[in-house]
């Protein structure tokens, strides 16, 4: 009996000690002050950048076809030379006499392979005059994203060169019929006179897509996911209040959510992983 009483006393003492330790830990957790950084709840449309790829092409390419067959007597220009309509390109010696070949349009000489002394015909182009003052870009769009494109609207186009400014391209055409791959061609064009972008390079078109309208938006960094629950911590005086949220759409900087939040609420964006509901916090002062 004495041994049983002794063991019972040990158990009671142990339980009391554990309870005291738990209380001390809870008190310590409650009194601990965590330094945090914050961000603000805003309200508005959540807009995302949708990126599509195509390849630049000349707005116009005009073949230079001699009116007579013969031998090139003089070649006035070379590939890459700029010409205006009516400029001399070559002189051809033929049975009809010497014929001058003129540029049929303004542009740049391309695809010139003939040399002085070589023969030319009336069937094959002597060269091509390419107009690079404006460029086209054709995109291939899935049917689920056609709603983003409307003829006459503008999109931002860049070729990825860090030193290059984005160009504003106009949507000229949206096909009503898909091609063999099940995609819909969309044609863009932009002024290239000052940008001097080369034809044939990969172009990136960026179009704004309103994903959620008039939604509460929180800094993405404020979101905490734990035990299949998503929540944020709202700054409530010197404490953090846990608020559950439902994510509607997210991007790197901002996320649209539903929850018991108000525009202007301050949320913990750094230090929240160590917090619990009611934790003491101290907001770091901005430099």
The pLDDT of residue 194 is above 90: no
Name which residue leads in pLDDT, 248 or 7.
248
- pLDDT value, residue 161: 72
Summarize the confidence of residues 45-54 as an average pLDDT: 93
Q: For 196, which DSSP code?
A: -
Strand pairing partners for 94?
97
CB 231 within 8 A of CB 242: yes
Strand pairing partners for 245?
259
Least confident of 9-18, 80-89, 147-156: 9-18
Q: Does domain 66-124 have CATH number 2.40.50.100?
A: yes
Strand pairing partners for 108?
82, 130
CATH topology assigned to domain 49-57+132-210: Elongation Factor Tu (Ef-tu); domain 3 (2.40.30)
* Of 131, 132, 120, 113, residue with least CA distance to 65: 120
- pLDDT value, residue 284: 85
Average pLDDT, the chain: 89
Tokens 């870009």 belong to 137
Question: How far is C-alpha 108 from the geometric centre of its chain's CA atoms?
Answer: 32
Query: What is the C-alpha separation between 42 and 219, in angstroms, rounded?
Result: 9
Query: What is the C-alpha separation between 99 and 69, in angstroms, rounded?
Result: 10
Model pLDDT for residues 11-32, shown as the tens digit of each residue:
455 554 555 555 555 555 446 8
Summarize the confidence of residues 257-275 as an average pLDDT: 95
Summarize the confidence of residues 40-62 as an average pLDDT: 94
Query: What is the C-alpha separation between 89 and 156, in angstroms, rounded?
Result: 37
HEC secondary structure over 92-117: EEECCEEEEEECCCCEEEECCCCCCC
Query: What is the C-alpha separation between 240 and 236, in angstroms, rounded?
Result: 6
- pLDDT value, residue 114: 87
Summarize the confidence of residues 189-213 as an average pLDDT: 92
- pLDDT band with cut points at 50, 70 and 90 for residue 7: low
Q: Which CATH architecture has domain 31-46+213-283?
A: Beta Barrel (2.40)
- pLDDT value, residue 20: 55
Model pLDDT for residues 92-114, shown as the tens digit of each residue:
999 889 999 999 999 999 999 88
* Of 280, 284, 273, residue with least CA distance to 221: 273
The pLDDT of residue 165 is above 90: no
CB 259 within 8 A of CB 233: no
- pLDDT value, residue 117: 93
- pLDDT value, residue 270: 94
- pLDDT value, residue 259: 95
The domain spans of the chain are 31-46+213-283, 49-57+132-210, 66-124
Question: How far is C-alpha 17 from the geometric centre of its chain's CA atoms?
Answer: 60
Query: What is the C-alpha separation between 32 and 281, in angstroms, rounded?
Result: 8
Query: What is the C-alpha separation between 32 and 274, in angstroms, rounded?
Result: 11
- pLDDT value, residue 64: 94
- pLDDT value, residue 223: 96
- pLDDT value, residue 163: 72
């Amino acid at each position: 009996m004495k041994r049983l009483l002794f063991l019972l006393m040990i158990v009671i003492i142990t339980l009391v000690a554990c309870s005291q330790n738990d209380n001390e830990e809870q008190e310590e957790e409650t009194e601990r002050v965590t330094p945090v950084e914050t961000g603000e709840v805003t309200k508005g449309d959540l807009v995302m950048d949708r990126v599509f790829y195509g390849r630049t092409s000349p707005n116009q390419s005009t073949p230079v076809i001699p009116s007579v067959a013969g031998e090139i007597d003089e070649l006035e220009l070379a590939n890459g030379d700029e010409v205006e309509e009516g400029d001399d390109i070559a002189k051809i010696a033929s049975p009809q006499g010497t014929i001058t070949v003129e540029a049929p349009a303004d542009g740049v000489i391309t695809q010139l392979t003939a040399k002085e002394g070589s023969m030319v015909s009336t069937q094959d182009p002597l060269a091509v005059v390419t107009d690079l003052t404006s460029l086209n870009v054709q995109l291939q769009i899935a049917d689920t994203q056609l709603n983003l494109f409307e003829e006459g609207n503008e999109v931002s186009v860049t070729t990825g060169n860090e030193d290059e400014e984005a160009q504003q391209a106009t949507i000229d055409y949206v096909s009503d019929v898909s091609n063999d791959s099940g995609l819909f061609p969309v044609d863009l064009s932009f002024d290239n006179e000052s940008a001097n972008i080369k034809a044939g390079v990969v172009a990136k078109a960026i179009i704004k897509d309103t994903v959620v309208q008039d939604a509460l938006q929180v800094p993405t960094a404020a979101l905490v996911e734990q035990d299949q629950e998503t929540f944020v911590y709202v700054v409530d005086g010197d404490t953090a209040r846990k608020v559950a949220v439902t994510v509607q759409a997210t991007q790197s900087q901002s996320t649209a959510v539903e929850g018991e939040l108000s525009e202007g609420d301050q949320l913990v964006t750094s230090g929240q992983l160590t917090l619990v509901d009611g934790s003491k916090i101290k907001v770091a002062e901005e430099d």
